[in-house]
Structure 1
Amino acid sequence: MSESRLFKMVYYLLEKGKSTAPELSEKFEVSIRTVYRDIDVISSAGIPIYATQGKNGGIFIADDFTMDKSFFTETEKEHILNALQGIIATDGKNSDELLTKLGALFQIKSTNWIEVDFSDWIQNNPKQDIFNLIKNAIFAKRLISIKYFGSNGKITERSVQPLKLIFKSKDWYLYGFCLMKNDYRYFKLTRIKTLELLTETFSPIAISPNLEKQINIKKTINTKLKFDKSMAFRVYDEFTDEVTEDEQGNLYVQVDLPDNDFLYSYIFSFAEYVEILEPQILREQINTKLKVMQKKYRT
Structure 2
Amino acid sequence: MKIDRLLGIIVLMLNKGRVSARELSERFEVSSKTIYRDMDTISQAGIPVVAYPGLSGGFEIMKSFMIDRYWLSVEEMGSLFTAAKGIHQALGSPETKALLDKIQNLLNKAKVGRIPEEDHMAFEPLIMDLNPWGQREGIREQLDLLRACIAQKQRAIIHYVSSGADSVVRKREVEPVSLILKGNVWYVQAYCLYRKDHRLFRISRIEQIKLLETRAQPRLRPQLDALSWNSVWSEGMPCTVTLRFTPSARPRAADWFHPERWIEAADGSVVISTVLKVDEWLYGTLLSMGDTVLVEGPSWVAEELSRRAKKIAAQYRNLDT
TM range (shorter): 0.5 to 0.7
SS in 1 for 2:131: coil
Asked whether the 8 Å contact 2:132–2:184 carries over to 1, the reply is no
Asked whether the 8 Å contact 1:163–1:204 carries over to 2, the reply is no
Hey, what's the Cα distance between the residues in 2 that align with 1:239 and 1:146? 37
- Normalized against structure 1, the TM-score is what? 0.63
Residue 225 of structure 1: CA displacement? 2.1
Residue 265 of structure 1: CA displacement? 1.9
Asked whether the 8 Å contact 1:241–1:254 carries over to 2, the reply is no
Match of 1:248 in 2: 267
The count of aligned residue pairs is: 229
SS in 2 for 1:235: helix
* Distance verdict in 2 for CA 1:294–1:196, change over 3 Å: same
Larger radius of gyration: 1
SS in 2 for 1:231: helix
Amino acid paired to 1:71: W
Match of 1:275 in 2: 294
SS in 1 for 2:137: coil
- Is structure 2 residue 194 aligned with structure 1 residue 176? no
Residue 270 of structure 1: CA displacement? 0.3
> Which of residues 146, 171, 189 is equivalent to 1:157?
171
Hey, what's the Cα distance between the residues in 1 that align with 2:90 and 2:312? 40
Asked whether the 8 Å contact 2:172–2:194 carries over to 1, the reply is yes
> Which of residues 245, 251, 265 is equivalent to 2:284?
265
Residue 196 of structure 1: CA displacement? 1.7
Amino acid paired to 2:169: I
Amino acid paired to 1:171: V
Asked whether the 8 Å contact 1:243–1:251 carries over to 2, the reply is no
Match of 1:286 in 2: 305
Residue 250 of structure 1: CA displacement? 1.4
* Distance verdict in 2 for CA 1:110–1:175, change over 3 Å: farther
Equivalent residue runs for 1:4-23 within 5 Å: none
Identity of matched residues, %: 23
> Which of residues 220, 233, 239 is equivalent to 1:218?
233
Residue 75 of structure 1: CA displacement? 3.2
* Distance verdict in 2 for CA 1:188–1:137, change over 3 Å: same
Q: Which moved more, 1:125-134 or 1:170-179?
A: 170-179
Residue 241 of structure 1: CA displacement? 7.5
Amino acid paired to 2:102: K
Gaps of 5+ in 1: 1-66
Hey, what's the Cα distance between the residues in 1 that align with 2:189 and 2:277? 18
Residue 268 of structure 1: CA displacement? 0.9
Asked whether the 8 Å contact 2:287–2:309 carries over to 1, the reply is no
Asked whether the 8 Å contact 1:118–1:127 carries over to 2, the reply is no
Hey, what's the Cα distance between the residues in 1 that align with 2:138 and 2:68? 41
Hey, what's the Cα distance between the residues in 2 that align with 1:98 and 1:110? 20
Hey, what's the Cα distance between the residues in 2 that align with 1:216 and 1:273? 29
Residue 269 of structure 1: CA displacement? 0.5
Match of 2:315 in 1: 296
Question: Could you give the per-residue CA deviations for residues 127-172 of structure 1, whole angstroms, max 9, x where no partner exists?
Answer: 1111222233333333222112223332111223323333335322
* Distance verdict in 2 for CA 1:144–1:119, change over 3 Å: farther
Residue 230 of structure 1: CA displacement? 0.8
CA RMSD of aligned residues (A): 3.3
Match of 1:97 in 2: 98
* Distance verdict in 2 for CA 1:86–1:193, change over 3 Å: same
SS in 2 for 1:247: coil
SS in 1 for 2:71: coil
Asked whether the 8 Å contact 2:130–2:184 carries over to 1, the reply is no
Hey, what's the Cα distance between the residues in 2 that align with 1:216 and 1:139? 31
> Which of residues 201, 218, 221 is equivalent to 1:203?
218
- Is structure 2 residue 249 aligned with structure 1 residue 231? yes
Residue 287 of structure 1: CA displacement? 2.6
Residue 217 of structure 1: CA displacement? 5.0
- Normalized against structure 2, the TM-score is what? 0.59
